[in-house]
Structure formats: C-alpha cells, structure tokens
Amino acid sequence: MTPISPHTKISTLLKSHPEALDAIVSISPKFNKLRFPLLRKLMAPRTSISMACKIGGCTFNDFAEKLKPLGFEVDAAAVVVSEKEDTPLPEFMKSLLPDNIIDLDVRPVLDSGKDPLNLILKEVNQLQPNQVMKLANSFEPIPLIQLLGKRGFETYSEIIDENLTYTYFHKTEAVKETTAQTDTATADWDATLHRFEGKTKTIDVRELEMPLPMLTILDELDKLPTGSALYVYHKRIPVFLLPELQERKFEYRIKEINDGEVHLFIFK
C-alpha cells in the first residue's frame, strides 16, 4: 500500500502504479495535459495533490476515491495536518483598496485557444505603486506565480468555484528595484552574448505550435557542445521551460522585444 496525502506529488502517484494516470485524468478534464509526456515530466514532480485540486477544481477526497482501488492508502494524520494549514492573508491584501485593483479576466482568451501570457505580463509591467492586478482565471496559474515570484511579485489566490480563481499580483519594492536596473540588465545581456561570440547556435520557434517550441529547444540543448550557447527567437516567455532549464543547470537571459517577440539566450 502506498500512503498518500495532500502533499504527495503527482509524480509519486504515476511512478507507483501504471493506471494512476488514467485515474487522475478521469477526475477532471483539466488533467488531460498530463497525457503529454513532456508536460507530464515538467509538471508532475512539481505539483502536489493539493495543488492539482486547485487546478482541477476538485478535492483530495476525489483523488482518494480514484486511487484507493489501485492500492493507495490515505495518510489520515497528514490529511489532518494539511487541513489545519491555512494560507495567511498577506499584508498587501489586508490594506488593498478597491481603487487600486486592476482587473484582468483571461478566461475568454483561453477559451479562444490563445495564450494570454504576453497580455498578463504587459499588465503587470504597467502596474503603478500600490496597484494590484486581480487575475481572473479558471485555475490557479502556478507557473505564472512561480515566474513572477522570482521577479519579486507577491501573490495571493482565492478559489471562488471550479470555474473561477482570482490571483492577485502585487509589485513589491524588489520588483521596482529590478525595473530600475533595466540598463544594467541590458548591459548584462550584451556582455553575455559577447562572451559566447562565435560559439552560439540560433533557432527560431515562433511559428511552431505548442508544445513543439519547448521540445525543439530542449532537443537543441541536448546536442549543444560544451561551452556553447543557444539563441532562441520566441513569441512568448516559455514559463514551462524555465523550471526545466534550472533543473538541467542551464542559465538563461530573457529580452522582451515587443508583445509578440521574446529573445532567449541559454547557456551553462
């Protein structure tokens, strides 16, 4: 018997039983992405059952009911501890005024089959001091939260129902300092490119359909000679790629050219 709790990673479930994938996908249509090997490889090790419940609009009991017939056993003690854990309301939410909220609903964009990332980044980059972006989505955007968290944004999510989650993004002083260092970042970009002059391969993935851009980049990195770098023309910041690059010990630089063009420079 394999014990499970809200903290159990999806990758643990998949490794423990060959039928776990079908069981998980049957819980919510939003888990269908796990059928794509690359996305499964990226997300499963980083996503707990608790996090998956937020994305899929389901409960831990839904997971337990599907997994018990496969030999999984609920760790009752861990569930009790998890249920007692509440996400504290951050200070920026306590002092948030209605006039300082910038609303952005990306559900229509997602429903049309488009990626709202560039629109989201444009909005957060335009936030003024004391303003907070309130993102309406059908799930908690964990990769986006991680990406902006590394930039210094504070976030808070509240699940309204299975079709609506609000995520608040607050620009902290750390973000303002980063924004003020644009010239330094540009200099670093130029210096990094110069360091790999003559040892850089360039690819363009802007016209490829998902998930081919990410697959192409990872394939090129697998073939990249030691001491070389990869220059990528992309149409968006690849939020699912960045954690994979960090796991593979690659460094990267990102240069946003405009709303539909992003340049990446990847190296070790």
CATH number of the CATH domain containing 66: 1.10.3910.10
15 and 49 share a domain? Answer: yes
pLDDT value at residue 78 = 59
Q: Which residues of 96-120 are buried (b: 16+ CB within 10 A; e: fewer)?
A: beeeeeeebebeebeeeeeebbbeb
Task: Give, in degrees to the nearest 5, the angle at Cα 241 between 239 and 246.
Answer: 110
80 and 97 share a domain? Answer: no
Residue type, 98: P
Which of 145, 175, 205 is the last residue in one of the domains? 175
Smallest Cα–Cα separation from 166: which of 145, 151, 148? 145
57 and 25 share a domain? Answer: yes
Q: Which residues of 121-148 are buried (b: 16+ CB within 10 A; e: fewer)?
A: bebbeebeeebbbbbebbbbbbbbbebb
54 and 131 share a domain? Answer: no
95 and 164 share a domain? Answer: yes
224 and 199 share a domain? Answer: yes
User: Residue ranges of the chain with pLDDT lower than 50?
Assistant: 84, 178-184
Residue type, 62: D
Q: Give the residue numbers spanning the domain of 25.
A: 2-84
214 and 232 share a domain? Answer: yes
Token code pair at residue 45: 């090790």
66 and 120 share a domain? Answer: no
34 and 65 share a domain? Answer: yes
Which of 132, 159, 175 is the last residue in one of the domains? 175
Total count of domains within the chain: 3
198 and 131 share a domain? Answer: no
CATH assignment of the domain containing 162: 3.30.110
260 and 187 share a domain? Answer: yes
Which of 124, 145, 175 is the last residue in one of the domains? 175
Q: Distance between CA 12 and CA 109 in Å, rounded?
A: 33
> Against a cut of 0.75, is the pTM above it?
no
Q: Are 30 and 57 within 8 A, CB to CB?
A: yes
CATH assignment of the domain containing 251: 3.30.110.40
